[in-house]
């Protein structure tokens, strides 16, 4: 439980928010951290302590799953900076991590003061499906291509060398996706794909079709030994009207195995409704398999952004679709408790000042008392 009283009482033994707040600015050690998600591009690694002992929501593959009333306050973020991007993977274990507890952008984190190193590597195998198309059974998959375009985005100042390096990364994505379709998904008969960018990608251009993007993926699938696919879509009619990255003009579409499925020509339509204004439209198409008509719908909703931070001032956190509960004024904490905590922070401030990460500023919570508050006599 992160908080169950809208921050009206201080309960560090039962509320995750109060527990982490009681440690902010202090030097702590996370014993036997188990990584629950790959280190992201910002160098943030989420872990649970003690190899996950007592943690709820820990899956068989080492990830954390949320449930009603439980958003996993056991999870701890370790921040190392962008140089550590991709350093650790789900299921890895780390040696003990010592650092300073910090609060940044709605989350508590541990900023290490020494070296962070792996104790064991999980090397989780990629999952593969056991579902395949049969003589009487059609296979269907949904695949988010995550802003896939055939060309890299050219930035001001790019040289031929730097742009070529960016293009190599783009090309590698097509190879990766093709291998996933062929070897992990086993060539589904129909694939509903999302976030297909146009031929120019995020560069300014007038070609709004995603055909070039899809064909490059189809060619990569063929090179990987996969099935022969064809692509259909309904392209946006104007630039920057379908959401996603600027100028990318993402859309949904279908890849289908021409050796297994027939497409009903002209059946592809985009659903027009107020709910989809300014974002990608769900696309519908008819196919024939074994003499039977099959209607596929490919929908990719807008990201649900704008939610409150889990450890923010609004408790419980609200999402854009959830009405915000009335806020109550936090209950004043006893002076003796606040003074005791202030003294503890002051006693460790020299360590925190000299050893805490300097790559990001400290960010105090909105209701925190001043650290130098005088003690009653």
How far is residue 333's CA from residue 185's CA, in Å, rounded to a whole number?
Answer: 56
What pLDDT does residue 191 have? Answer: 98
Q: Choose between 113 and 323: higher pLDDT.
A: 113
CB 75 within 8 A of CB 47: yes
- Strand segments (E) across the chain: 27-30, 34-35, 44-48, 76-79, 93-94, 97-104, 107-112, 118-120, 140-148, 190-196, 229-233, 251-257, 262-263, 269-270, 283-289, 292-298
Q: Is the pLDDT of residue 374 over 70?
A: no
Share of the chain above pLDDT 70, in %: 84
How confident is the model over 121-148, as pLDDT tens digits?
998 888 899 999 999 999 999 999 999 9
The model's pTM is 0.73
Give the chain's end-to-end CA distance (angstroms, integer): 36
What pLDDT does residue 320 have? Answer: 66
Model confidence at 279, in pLDDT bands (50, 70, 90)?
confident
What pLDDT does residue 304 have? Answer: 67
CB 43 within 8 A of CB 82: yes
CB 189 within 8 A of CB 139: yes
Share of the chain above pLDDT 90, in %: 67
What pLDDT does residue 126 have? Answer: 84
Average pLDDT in the 265-281 region?
A: 90
Provide the mean pLDDT of the chain: 85
Q: Is the pLDDT of residue 377 over 80?
A: no
What pLDDT does residue 317 have? Answer: 86
What pLDDT does residue 178 have? Answer: 98
Q: Is the pLDDT of residue 347 over 80?
A: no
What pLDDT does residue 357 have? Answer: 39
Distance set, CA 185 to CA 82, 130, 232, 252, 319 (Å) = 32, 8, 20, 19, 34
Q: Is the pLDDT of residue 63 over 60?
A: yes
Closest CA to 141 of 199, 100, 180, 87: 180
Q: Is the pLDDT of residue 346 over 70?
A: no
Q: Choose between 232 and 330: higher pLDDT.
A: 232
Q: Is the pLDDT of residue 306 over 50?
A: yes
CB 267 within 8 A of CB 286: yes
Q: Is the pLDDT of residue 302 over 90?
A: no
What pLDDT does residue 177 have? Answer: 98
* Strand 140-148 relative to strand 190-196, pairing: parallel
What pLDDT does residue 69 have? Answer: 83
């Amino acid at each position: 439980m992160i908080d169950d009283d809208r921050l009206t009482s201080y309960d560090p033994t039962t509320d995750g928010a109060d527990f982490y707040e009681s440690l902010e600015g202090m030097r702590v050690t996370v014993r036997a951290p188990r990584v629950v998600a790959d280190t992201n591009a910002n160098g943030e690694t989420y872990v649970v302590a003690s190899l996950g002992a007592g943690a709820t929501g820990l899956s068989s593959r080492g990830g954390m799953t949320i449930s009603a009333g439980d958003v996993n306050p056991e999870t701890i973020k370790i921040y190392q900076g962008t140089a550590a991007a991709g350093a650790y993977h789900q299921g890895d274990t780390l040696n003990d991590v010592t650092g300073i507890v910090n609060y940044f952008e709605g989350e508590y984190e541990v900023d290490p003061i020494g070296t962070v190193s792996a104790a064991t590597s999980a090397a989780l195998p990629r999952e593969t499906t056991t579902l395949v198309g049969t003589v009487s059974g059609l296979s269907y998959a949904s695949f988010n291509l995550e802003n896939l375009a055939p060309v890299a985005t050219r930035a001001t100042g790019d040289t031929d060398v730097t742009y070529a390096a960016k293009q190599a990364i783009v090309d590698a994505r097509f190879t990766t996706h093709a291998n996933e379709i062929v070897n992990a998904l086993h060539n589904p008969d129909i694939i509903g794909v999302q976030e297909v960018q146009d031929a120019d990608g995020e560069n300014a251009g007038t070609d709004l079709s995603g055909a070039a993007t899809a064909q490059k993926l189809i060619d990569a699938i063929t090179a990987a030994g996969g099935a022969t696919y064809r692509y259909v879509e309904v392209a946006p009619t104007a630039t920057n009207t379908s959401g996603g990255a600027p100028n990318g003009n993402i859309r949904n579409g279908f890849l289908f195995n021409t050796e297994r499925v027939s497409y009903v020509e002209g059946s592809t339509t985009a659903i027009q409704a107020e709910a989809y204004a300014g974002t990608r439209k769900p696309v519908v198409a008819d196919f024939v398999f074994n003499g039977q008509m099959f209607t596929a719908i490919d929908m990719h909703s807008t990201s649900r952004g704008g939610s409150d931070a889990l450890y923010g001032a609004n408790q419980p956190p609200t999402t854009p679709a959830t009405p915000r509960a009335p806020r109550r004024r936090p209950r004043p904490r006893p002076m003796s408790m606040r003074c005791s905590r202030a003294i503890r922070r002051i006693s460790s401030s020299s360590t925190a000042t000299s050893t805490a990460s300097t790559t990001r500023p400290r960010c105090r919570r909105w209701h925190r008392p001043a650290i130098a508050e005088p003690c009653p006599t």
